[in-house]
Amino acid sequence: ISGVRFIDDTNMIDLLEIELSIVDKTLVKGGNFLAKCFEGRSTEFLSKEINKRFKIMKRLKPDSSRKISKEIYLLGLNKN
């Protein structure tokens, strides 16, 4: 994390696009995917990309995460 929101958002999208290309190639139908990211402008785009590939997509914020933290997890369940 650089601390520069635009750079961090761009890097997060790049990283998750790589992860999703691996999901497309290797994860079996019905499989699940979990990605840690930080709430920002890119989150909506990433949620849509996960939603395209999975029957269920959820945004999760662990109870142990600080309230002010932007940390979230995007969960894709049951790959199409």
Of the residues 36, 52, 55, 58, only one is catalytic, namely: 36
**29 classed as catalytic:** no
Q: Is 52 exposed, middle or buried (0-12, 13-18, 19+ CB in 10 A)?
A: exposed
Tell me the C-alpha to C-alpha distance, in Å, between residue 30 and each of 2, 24, 64.
35, 12, 29
What secondary structure letter does DSSP report for 29? T
Active site residues: 36
